[in-house]
């Protein structure tokens, strides 16, 4: 039995989960916590906040083996540095992220993309349980994703799962990645809200629920775009499970019904009855749980930044 800590560093909140992992049984979430990110205070303050939250949340339990740190964007896994983190204020490009947290905690820190972390959490403890081949899509401010092959999170040569930057409208709006018509720009929260004539996507979902036709059409438009991308993923990977998470997925069947229709329409050569399409189950703490699981499952253990401090052999009470 080992204890792992996961931290999900988001633009608004830092969430933490402590997970117990025992060979042969399902991982168990021992505790969760959350606090505001306050990224305007700068990277250094944010990273110390991450370390303190991990420390405090894990304190009542056995000393952890490792920490997984979920990030809202791209990073250099080998160097443990930031690459593109647009939702965090301040300059994160090239900045050491894993190192300072590892040093403070005296534990290995593994970085993972937040959508990939959510995918892993849903695979082990949520709507993806038992899946062999799975595609996960997270619909929020941006559109993220993750891929599971043979029951394991699949990263390819680094960042597999970037379904948000697959093309659904070849001449569509310019995306932050430099391409045109990425799913991210068509089905992100801002695009849905704008199309619905609402201030936020939450307002758009509420309006759609109360029968507003424009809001319903906006959700349906987004669902069709997601369905086009997932239809392509389906014929490419032949998954047995698709999991849809993120704040926009709160729309429930208003989103899922047209999404299922579109996948069935697009994935013609695939036996659609073999596919289960489900909403994510673990809620906002999924990313933190997945980050903890990643610190256990990550294959490149020799890439983990080495901790500088060491815990005494008695361990108790002096986690960090």
* Other beta carbons within 10 Å of 61: 15
* Angle at alpha carbon of residue 261, lines to 259 and 267, rounded to 5°: 95
Min CB(171)–Zn ion separation in Å? 14
Q: Which of the stretches 141-149, 164-172, 285-293, 296-304 binds Zn ion when contact is defined by CB under 5 A?
A: 164-172
Q: Which conformational region is residue 23 in: left (phi greater than 0), alpha (psi within -120 to 50 degrees), or beta? A: beta
Kindly give the pairing relationship between strand 152-154 and strand 143-149: antiparallel
Counting Cα atoms < 13 Å in the Cβ hemisphere of 18 gives: 20
Per the structure block, which two tokens stand in for 292?
């903890």
The yes or no reply on residue 236 touching Zn ion (CB under 5 A) is no
The yes or no reply on residue 201 touching Zn ion (CB under 5 A) is no
Q: Which of the stretches 48-56, 133-141, 165-173, 222-230 binds Zn ion when contact is defined by CB under 5 A?
A: 165-173
> Considering beta carbons, is residue 159 or 240 the nearer one to Zn ion?
159
Q: Which of the stretches 123-131, 171-179, 257-265, 311-319 binds Zn ion when contact is defined by CB under 5 A?
A: 171-179
Min CB(182)–Zn ion separation in Å? 3
- Non-local (6+) Cβ contacts of 87 within 8 A are 10, 11, 72, 73, 141, 142
The yes or no reply on residue 102 touching Zn ion (CB under 5 A) is no
> Considering beta carbons, is residue 3 or 143 the nearer one to Zn ion?
143
> Considering beta carbons, is residue 6 or 181 the nearer one to Zn ion?
181
The yes or no reply on residue 177 touching Zn ion (CB under 5 A) is yes
Min CB(73)–Zn ion separation in Å? 12
Q: Which of the stretches 104-112, 139-147, 178-186, 248-256 binds Zn ion when contact is defined by CB under 5 A?
A: 178-186
DSSP state of 201: H
> Considering beta carbons, is residue 167 or 256 the nearer one to Zn ion?
167
The yes or no reply on residue 175 touching Zn ion (CB under 5 A) is yes
Q: Which of residues 249-268 bind Zn ion (CB under 5 A)?
A: none
> Considering beta carbons, is residue 134 or 175 the nearer one to Zn ion?
175
The yes or no reply on residue 182 touching Zn ion (CB under 5 A) is yes
Cα gap 162→115, rounded to integer Å: 9
* Angle at alpha carbon of residue 130, lines to 127 and 132, rounded to 5°: 105
- Is the CB of residue 160 less than 8 Å from the CB of residue 147? yes
Q: Which of the stretches 170-178, 219-227, 259-267, 288-296 binds Zn ion when contact is defined by CB under 5 A?
A: 170-178
Cα gap 194→78, rounded to integer Å: 39
Q: Which helix (H) or strand (E) holds 290?
A: helix 286-297
> Considering beta carbons, is residue 144 or 231 the nearer one to Zn ion?
144
Q: Contact with Zn ion (CB under 5 A): which of 104, 165, 241, 260? A: 165
The yes or no reply on residue 179 touching Zn ion (CB under 5 A) is yes
Counting Cα atoms < 13 Å in the Cβ hemisphere of 274 gives: 14
Locus of tokens 């759609």:
208
DSSP state of 167: B
Q: Which of the stretches 48-56, 91-99, 163-171, 278-286 binds Zn ion when contact is defined by CB under 5 A?
A: 163-171
Positions that interact with Zn ion (CB under 5 A): 165, 175, 177, 179, 182
């Amino acid at each position: 039995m080992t204890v792992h800590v996961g931290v999900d560093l988001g633009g608004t909140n830092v969430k933490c989960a402590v997970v117990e992992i025992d060979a042969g049984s399902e991982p168990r979430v021992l505790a969760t916590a959350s606090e505001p990110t306050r990224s305007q205070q700068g990277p250094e303050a944010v990273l110390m906040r991450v370390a303190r939250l991990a420390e405090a949340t894990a304190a009542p339990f056995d000393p952890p083996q490792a920490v997984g740190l979920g990030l809202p964007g791209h990073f250099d896994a080998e160097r443990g540095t930031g690459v593109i983190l647009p939702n965090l204020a301040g300059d994160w490009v090239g900045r050491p992220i894993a190192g300072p947290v590892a040093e403070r905690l005296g534990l290995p820190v593994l970085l993972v993309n937040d959508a990939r972390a959510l995918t892993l959490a849903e695979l082990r403890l949520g709507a993806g349980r038992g899946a062999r081949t799975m595609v996960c899509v997270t619909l929020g401010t941006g559109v993220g994703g993750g891929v599971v092959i043979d029951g394991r999170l699949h990263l390819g040569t680094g960042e597999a799962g970037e379904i948000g930057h697959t093309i659904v409208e070849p001449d569509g709006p310019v995306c932050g990645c430099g391409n045109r018509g990425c799913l991210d720009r068509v089905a992100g929260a801002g695009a849905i809200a704008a199309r619905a004539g609402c201030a936020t996507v939450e307002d758009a979902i509420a309006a759609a629920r109360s029968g507003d036709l424009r809001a319903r059409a906006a959700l349906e438009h987004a669902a069709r775009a997601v369905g086009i991308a997932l239809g392509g993923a389906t014929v490419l990977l032949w998954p047995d499970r698709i999991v849809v998470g993120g704040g926009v997925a709160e729309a429930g069947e208003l989103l899922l019904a047209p999404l299922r229709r579109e996948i069935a329409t697009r994935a013609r050569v695939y036996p659609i009855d073999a596919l289960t399409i489900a909403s994510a189950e673990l809620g906002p703490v999924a990313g933190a749980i997945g980050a903890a699981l990643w610190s256990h499952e990550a294959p490149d253990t020799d890439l983990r930044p080495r901790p500088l401090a060491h815990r005494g052999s008695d361990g108790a009470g002096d986690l960090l």
